[in-house]
Amino acid sequence: MNNLLESAINAIQRSKKAWCRYITANDTGQTGGHQSGFYVPKCAAPLLFDELGRKGENKEKTVSILWQDDFYTTSRMKYYGQRTRNEYRITRFGRDFPFLNDEYIGSLLILSKMTDSDYVAYVLSSDDDIDGFYAYFNLSPNETNQLITAGGTDPDKKLEMFFQEHVRELDDFPTTLQMSSLAQLNFNKAHSISKSDFIKSPDSLLLSWLDAEYRLFRLIEEKIYSGKLKNAFESVDEFVRIANEVLNRRKSRAGKSLEHHLSELFSKNDLVFEEQALTEGKKRPDFLFPNSSC
């Protein structure tokens, strides 16, 4: 996961309230209708003030905003309630503030309230980061410009996002051991598995790892073979070769998967064992307890 995206997610989870919206041409002044700062809809007003503004009165407070984990602005949260106006805005970012420039139109602005006077903000510009943010919080693009539930999405959706991040960078299948380790690592992270879980519920964890690895494998399989399947095969022999390759890899992964996950559980529970030890009759059991020297 990109460091900026991860920081934005972590900030929301630690925040009192959080909000996101796209930066628009009106924000940057490209439409000619530019007004001071970022407009905040009334549904997100609790991000700015504990009490809503009253019509006929202006209301404001000064806050500190940390941008991109890099620099601060001393900004103003303001409610405009006099005359015909009835709106909330965040203003005063300084002369060299970068994110009100045209190049950031379409980027996703994320603002998290940490205390009444301290905020952190992030601007995500890449499609991968924005998609990852939506996936984590189970949002669609038309669900922006509102408060975000700070608890995040459910663990299964987190796991799916983690897997998508890994698969995006792969050009070939990892080894069976690498795939099992990836499944374990990401499942544990998504479900906040602690050391005590290895002792209290090893059976449940084993089944969950097996299921997670199968999901990861199918994602990788789809990426590697999707291009080949969309094009016509040159011959029946080519079709049979690819089909056999897919089936053999599935069998190989399934045969090793349980062994890899059991090995990890044994290690986490401090069991003494040896894998593939040579025993009498030149046999090699998957595991030998404690080891072949005893």
Here the CATH number for the domain that contains residue 220 is 3.40.91.80
What Cα–Cα distance (Å) separates residue 287 from each residue in 201, 260, 272, 274? 21, 11, 10, 6
- Residue 25: per-residue pLDDT: 86
Q: What is the pTM of this model?
A: 0.54
- The stretch 155-171 carries a mean pLDDT of 79
Q: Rounding to the nearest 10 degrees, give the CA dihedral for residues 280, 281, 285, 290.
A: 0
Render pLDDT for 235-294 as a digit per residue (tens, 0 to 9). Answer: 898 888 888 888 988 988 888 999 999 999 999 999 998 888 888 878 888 888 988 776
Q: Residue 34: pLDDT above 60?
A: no
Which CATH number is 22's domain given? Answer: 2.40.330.10
Q: Residue 32: pLDDT above 50?
A: no
Q: Residue 61: pLDDT above 50?
A: yes
Q: Are 132 and 257 contained in the same domain?
A: no
Q: Label residue 19 exposed, middle or buried (CB < 10 Å: 0-12, 13-18, 19+).
A: buried
Token pair 């002044």: residue: 29
107, 127, 147 - which closes a domain: 147
For 258, residues 6+ apart whose C-beta sits below 8 A from its C-beta are: 210
- Residue 36: per-residue pLDDT: 67
Determine contact, residues 117/62, Cβ cutoff 8 Å.
Answer: yes
Q: Which residue has the higher pLDDT, 36 or 287?
A: 287
Q: How many CA atoms lie within 13 A of 79 on its CB side?
A: 20
79, 112, 147 - which closes a domain: 147
- The stretch 56-85 carries a mean pLDDT of 93
